[in-house]
Amino acid sequence: DGSSPAHPDTGSVVLFINGEDTNSVLQGFTITNGTGTVDPMSGRLGGGILCINSSSPTIANNAITSNTAIFGGGIDCVLNSSPLIINNTISANSAAGSGGGIDLYENSAPTITGNTITGNNTGSSGAGIQCYTLCSPLIADNTITNNVAGTLGGGIRAADYSSPVILHNQIERNQAFIGGGIQCGGSSSSPDISYNAIVYNGGDEISCQSGAAPIIHCNDIIDTIDYGVFNDYSIVIIDADSNWWGHTSGPYHPTANPSGQGVAVSDYVDFDPWLIGPSIEEFPATTPICLSLQVNPNPFRHFTRIGYSILDSRYPVESYNIKIYDAAGRLVKSFFPESITRNQESMIPWYGDDDAGRQVSSGVYFVRFTAAGSSTTTKVSLVR
């Protein structure tokens, strides 16, 4: 409880400030009533949890709720801090500036998977998650709902050279003046937005300003009275093909597809071809089990080790698998481990090959660990 901090300038409930790595684990706690740590330039940072100065712990299976700050009401990751944020409930936090649930700033690239991020708010931007200034997190397999931003990005905001990978999330019923679901700002921001359900958000499902150039593929973008994808910059054409727009006739555009009965898209959006049916299965309503997934070395040249574990008391788990996908979402390699011990890391090697034993090319790949209906994903780079 951060209501009575030990130091008058430190109102964060938990501080990671000494370069901690993923072996420092915060698990199973309720983090509440934090007010943030004072920064002379920015105000209060990290109401619930502050990770700063290259601190990258494991934050798993916690309830992070009812915290406040200027930046990062629930969690703030600042200055090269890239924690594993896994299977937490991050709810009812608020930030006067940005990042009601999670705020990322200046070269921070956490892995954010399996979390429920709901009911957070911010006076400015990124009510669910804000990515600002050279941040490139993996945001995968989360439920991001009912977050409210005063101006930009109700669910997620990516701006100022930030390029998150946004994969397999449910982004629903968030609100903002611009970009209720996702807002992308700045000419050097290029998020990869793939295989998400982006529905019922108020203030455009995805909104792009100032030359942002996201890749938007294989999502379900439906059920909004505003634009499914909006782009205000004529020089950049948004790559948004192969999405489901809510109708087999595709999205509505007054000149490019006037017969489309799906959600509307603005000018400067390339939406053709489109999917003729949903690409995303319904998300389960059950609480996911807590999974951990790490890849080392990363990047790698010849082989890498995939470390995985189940950090959860619900056991046994009858089935689990690890699958590797390429950047286009195609399955490359499948592993079906024979055994796993709860709360103990297991490891399998990957030699940069596919299921046929052929070496794959250099690039970014996604490793997905699935157990008992829950999953977590991380990215790995192969350099030949």
pLDDT (0 to 100) of residue 314 = 47
Res 377: pLDDT: 84
pLDDT at 85: 94
Take residue 352 and report the two structure tokens written for it. Answer: 């940069």
Distances (CA, A) of 263 to 131, 180, 252, 279, 363: 27, 15, 6, 16, 33
* Closest alpha carbon to 41 in 71, 83, 10, 11: 71
Q: Could you give the angle at the alpha carbon of 313 between the alpha carbons of 310 and 316, nearest 5°?
A: 70
pLDDT tens digit sequence for 306-324 = 998 876 654 455 568 899 9
Q: What is the pTM of this model?
A: 0.78
C-alpha torsion sign, points 269, 273, 277, 279 = negative
Q: What is the pLDDT of residue 279?
A: 82
pLDDT, tens digit (0-9, with 9 covering 90-100), for 24-61: 999 999 999 999 999 888 889 999 999 999 999 999 99
- The type of residue at 37 is T
pLDDT at site 3: 34
Q: How many CB atoms lie within 10 A of CB 150?
A: 18
d(CA 349, CA 351): 6
d(CA 169, CA 282): 11
- What are the mean pLDDT values of the chain's consecutive 10-residue runs (384 residues total)? 45 95 92 93 92 95 96 97 94 96 96 94 97 94 95 97 93 95 91 94 95 94 93 95 95 96 97 90 50 88 90 59 85 84 79 95 89 78 91
| Tokens matching residue 324 | 């590797």
pLDDT score at 376: 79
Positive or negative: CA dihedral 179, 41, 60, 217: positive
